[in-house]
Every structure is written in structure tokens, then in C-alpha cells.
Structure 1
Amino acid sequence: MKHYLGDVLLLITAVVWGSGFVVTAIALEHLTAYQVMAGRFVLATLILCVLFHRKLRTLTRSVLWKGAVLGSILFVAFALQTVGLEYTTPSKNAFITAVNVVIVPVIAYLVFKRRIDRHETLGSVLALAGIGFMSLQGSMTVNLGDFLTLLCAVGFAFDIFYTNLFVKKEDALSLTIVQFATASVLSVGAVLVLGEVPATLTGAAIWPIVYLAVFSTTIAYVCQNIAFRYTTPTKAAVILSLESFFGTAMSVLFLHEVLTGRMVLGAVLILAAILIAELKPSLKLKPRIRPEH
């Protein structure tokens, strides 16, 4: 049952993050990248502190430094992604970010010499190909936004890997609170240093921030960090790659984008990758049948 709990929570995260690309693009029409980040992380931190205030009394030194590490990684990854979105399209931003599906098992190999098995390799490659078919609709040229987004993919891969590692020994909610608080301090600091403190905020600028803070940040990351107790980093990355699928689906539903054959093929490849990741344990348990001669 716990196995499926992790999968369901990661699926919820993927759905919410899929919508986040559209909402972030809307927010950037009214605010700068660091203003968007500061707003979403500060509000998300306040929400968590109100809902789980008892966790603040039990923060240990271990949780503080691990949460600070995760928060710093999160800030860098989101900064690269959000600034990158100012110079590239949401579809290319989503695709390149999803390269973390391939990077996570590589990090596991480099840090712990964990072997990359054929199921993880096949699942990662299929997911990456599927995201490419769904998201890359325009030019394949690499511009500044694409390069920044590629760097952000590395950051998110490290975030997935180390979050999965830390929640095995620490309370997931406590880690999330410290993680968001750290990202908030860094984001607000960036706004102050760059002199981007807004004089006024319109409703058109506020509602995307509220959505990103409540859903894409608070709910999604709480679900993700709890789910990491019950899954592996590579499997989590593959399931989370569905955010591109849901992002495209929501664009079709709400922005009336045309559903193309490439999008359908991408969806099929991503679902195949999820099935491979899901069925891997059962495949290993099945006894090999000797062929009859």
C-alpha cells in the first residue's frame, strides 16, 4: 500500500507542476523572475508554518542543514528555470527541464556507484523521447533560455536525488519548511539586491503567485517529499516527467491548443516509460522459464 501511496503523491505533483508552466508564463507578464520566486516561496513558507507549526518546535540541527542545502539547490534550479522562461518558450522550457529524468541515475552512479539497470535506462530514454515529441514544436536551436533551462535540469536532478536521500532519515514536512524558508530568504535577497521591489501589485499579478504558492509549491512539494520515502530517485524522476504531459493537456484544454499527432505519440512513450518503471520489481520476481528444445 505504501508503494502505491508514493506513486499517487508523485502523480499529484506531476499534475500540479504541469499546470505551473502555464501559470508561471502568465505571472512573468506582470512580474520579474525573482519577484515570482520570492512571492511563491514566502507565501508557501507562511502556509506551511501555519499548518504545521508544531514542526517548528522539533527542528534539529540535522534538519536545518539538510533543509538549507535543499533550499539552496531549489533556489538555483528555479532561478535558472524562471529566468530561462523569459528567453524561451514554455514547451521547450518543460522539455529541457525534464532532462533531469536522465541525469538522476547518473548522479546516483557518480555519488554511490549505484548501477544503472536496463529498466531505468529504457524508462528514462522513453520518457525523454516522449517529452520531446510533446514539447518541441518549434526550432531546435539553442538560445540563452534553453541553456539556462538545461542548467536548471541539472539542479532539479540534484534536488530529486538529495531529497530522496534526506527524507529517509528526517521528517519530510520539517525538511520542506526549512527548504522553502531558505529559498524564500535567497529569493527576497535577490529582489532587494537587484532593486526589483514592486511599488504596487495588481490582481493580475497576485493570483498567479497565490496559485504557484498554494498548489505548485506547498501541495506539490509536500506530496513529493513524502512520496520520496516510498520510491527510488530514478522512478520518482520518471513519474514526475508526466508534468510535461499534463502541461500539454492543460494547454489544449484551457488555451485551446491543437492536439497533434506528435503530442499523442509523446503521451504514449511517457506512459510506456511509467509502466516499465512500475513493472520492474514484478519483472525481477518472475522466474525465468527455460525454453523447451
Structure 2
Amino acid sequence: MTNRRKGQLGLILVAIIWGSGFVMSSVALNYFSTIHILALRFSIAFISMLVIFHRQLKHINKSTMIRGGILGVILYLAFYFQTIGLVHTTASKNAFLTAFNVVLVPIFGALFLKKKLTPLNIIGSLSAIIGVGVMSLNEFGAINIGDVLTLICALFFALQIIYTSLYVSDENPYALNTVQMGVATLCGMIISLIQDQPIEIGHANGIIAVVYLGVVSTMLAFLLQTTAQRYTTETETVIIMSMEAVFGMVFSAMLLNEEISIRMLIGAALILAGVLIVQLKPRRKQQESV
């Protein structure tokens, strides 16, 4: 199996993990505030990285600290704006607008990384974002402050993917991800203190959900993403990871007994089409394009 295929499989696993994270987030929100969930999930992810991969810490140097710090701030801001955006808009619009990074990543790759923006990349990205829209939107309505905040969130998620691709070829992925999680944890703690909201540890179900979000949906998922991006392009990364909406639908049906509609199946098909379309490029051209 080629490294590119391994990277693609790693990103599919990330999408599966994040799809399951929808269920765990729903459980966690019954016991914790959204700000506390962010602080806890990054803290748990950071501690897990330190415990499991402590031997990799020797690879942390000044460059890793700077680059991991940038990624950590960007990552926390992405989640933070998504969270506060959700307060002022609907969940369906929040999900759709967050997925707008599928469109932003190819554009940013062309602007900042001087990567070629190919027609198939554009078609694949549009197919994926339309698919997310079909799955999540019942109606859109007027633009409000929550929509704007969620678009800012999509901007930061796109930047996180772009900067990860920029940094990962020169850095140890374990060391880079450890610093990223550490800085995101620091941001989460600062925001919690500013808002003067002490964290209360409550029901076992809430604790289990937050631990899952921290260890699996954050530590493992972002480590897989960081490693996989060594072998995949930015556009491949964001389109494959847009499949989290598909897996979220599946896990919600299996574990929360939510119904799957024809509209959701059509949206899932469009997302999968986007993933397949971006694979159609000749391998030689794939390496020089986004």
C-alpha cells in the first residue's frame, strides 16, 4: 500500500471518529457547558499525548513550539467560534457553514501555498459542500451574527489544515500535535477563567463522553490528521474529512435512533461523489496540485 493510500485511509478514520463525536457531544452537552467541553477535551487530549507519547517529546524544539503554538491557537479559535456561533444560529446552518472550509481550503492552497487549483478539485469541493447542505439544511433564511461567527470558524478550520500541511513535512507529528494540544488547552483554560465558569464534574455519562471526545475525537483524530497530511494534499484532506457528516448520520441513527431521510442519503451521495472526484486526477499531477 502506498503512503498516499495510507494517508487517505487515515483521513477516512478521522471522519469516522468525528462522526461518532456528534453522538458524544450530544451526551456531553447534557452535563457541561460548551466552553467547559472545549477546555476539558483539549486538556484530556494534551495529557493523553504526554502520557502515551512522552518519548517523542525529545523532538520538540523552538520550531516545533512556534509552529505547534500557531496551530493550537488556530484550532481553539475554530472550535470557539463554532461554539458561540451555534448559540446564535441553528444547528443545521452551523454544520453547513462550518463545512464551508471544503471550499476555502483549495482557494487558500492556491493563494498561500501556490498550489494549482484544478477543475476536478473545484468540482469535488462543490459536490461535497452541496452534499453537506442537502444533508443539514431545511431552510437557510436571513444571515445573522451566528452565521458570521460560524463562517469565521470555517476560516480557522481551513487555516488549520493549510498550516498543518505547511509544517508537517519538517516536524515530528507527535511532537507537533502535543504542542498544538497544549496551547489549545491553555486557550481553553484562559477563556473559562475569563468567563468565570468553574468546571463541575458531574454524572458518569458526561465524564465518559468528555473523555471520549478528548482521547479519541481530539488526541487520536488530530494525530491521524497531522500524520496523514504528510502524504495527501490539502484538498484531499478537507474533502475526505467532510465525510464526517455521513458517518455522523450513521452513528446518530444507530445510537440515538434518529431517522435517515431520502434527502440525507442524497447529501451523503454527493459528499462521497466529491471524495471520488478528487481521486480522478492523474497521480503525477496530483503531487503538484492542491
What residue in structure 2 maps to residue 291 of structure 1? Answer: none
> 8 Å contact 2:23–2:256 — kept in the other structure?
no
Q: Deviations over 1:137-195 (max 9, x none)?
A: 34444344333222111110000111011001111111000000000011011111211
What residue in structure 2 maps to residue 3 of structure 1? Answer: 4
What residue in structure 2 maps to residue 126 of structure 1? Answer: 127
Give the deviation of 1:89 after TM superposition.
Answer: 4.1
Q: How does 1:65-144 map to 2 (within 5 A)?
A: 65-144=66-145
> 8 Å contact 1:48–1:218 — kept in the other structure?
yes
Aligned to 1:229, what secondary structure does the other structure show? Answer: coil
Distance across 1 between alignment mates of 2:239 and 2:17: 16
What residue in structure 1 maps to residue 26 of structure 2? Answer: 25
Q: How does 1:1-293 map to 2 (within 5 A)?
A: 1-281=2-282
Measured at CA, do residues 249 and 89 of structure 1 come closer, stay the same or move farther in structure 2, by a change above 3 Å? Answer: farther
Q: Which runs of at least 4 in structure 1 moved beyond 6 Å after TM superposition?
A: none
Measured at CA, do residues 140 and 12 of structure 1 come closer, stay the same or move farther in structure 2, by a change above 3 Å? Answer: farther
Distance across 2 between alignment mates of 1:165 and 1:103: 16
RMSD: 1.8
Distance across 1 between alignment mates of 2:252 and 2:20: 8
Give the deviation of 1:112 after TM superposition.
Answer: 3.2
Letter in structure 1 aligned against 2:39: A
Give the deviation of 1:282 after TM superposition.
Answer: 5.0
Give the deviation of 1:266 after TM superposition.
Answer: 0.9
Give the deviation of 1:283 after TM superposition.
Answer: 9.4
Measured at CA, do residues 202 and 97 of structure 1 come closer, stay the same or move farther in structure 2, by a change above 3 Å? Answer: same
Q: Deviations over 1:36-73 (max 9, x none)?
A: 11100111111111111012223111111000000000
> 8 Å contact 1:25–1:85 — kept in the other structure?
no
Distance across 2 between alignment mates of 1:123 and 1:27: 34
Q: Figure out how many residues of one structure are paired with residues of the other and give that number.
A: 285
Using the size of structure 1 for normalisation, the TM-score is 0.91
Distance across 2 between alignment mates of 1:130 and 1:168: 31
What residue in structure 2 maps to residue 290 of structure 1? Answer: none
Letter in structure 2 aligned against 1:118: P
Measured at CA, do residues 219 and 196 of structure 1 come closer, stay the same or move farther in structure 2, by a change above 3 Å? Answer: same
What residue in structure 2 maps to residue 289 of structure 1? Answer: none
Using the size of structure 2 for normalisation, the TM-score is 0.92
> 8 Å contact 1:28–1:86 — kept in the other structure?
no
Stretch moving more, 226-235 or 32-41:
32-41
Distance across 2 between alignment mates of 1:205 and 1:90: 21
Distance across 2 between alignment mates of 1:283 and 1:268: 27
> 8 Å contact 2:177–2:222 — kept in the other structure?
yes
> 8 Å contact 1:21–1:94 — kept in the other structure?
no
Measured at CA, do residues 254 and 280 of structure 1 come closer, stay the same or move farther in structure 2, by a change above 3 Å? Answer: same
Stretch moving more, 165-174 or 140-149:
140-149
Measured at CA, do residues 33 and 71 of structure 1 come closer, stay the same or move farther in structure 2, by a change above 3 Å? Answer: same
Letter in structure 2 aligned against 1:111: F
> 8 Å contact 2:93–2:140 — kept in the other structure?
no
Give the deviation of 1:272 after TM superposition.
Answer: 1.1
Distance across 2 between alignment mates of 1:199 and 1:131: 35
- Identity of paired residues, percent? 40
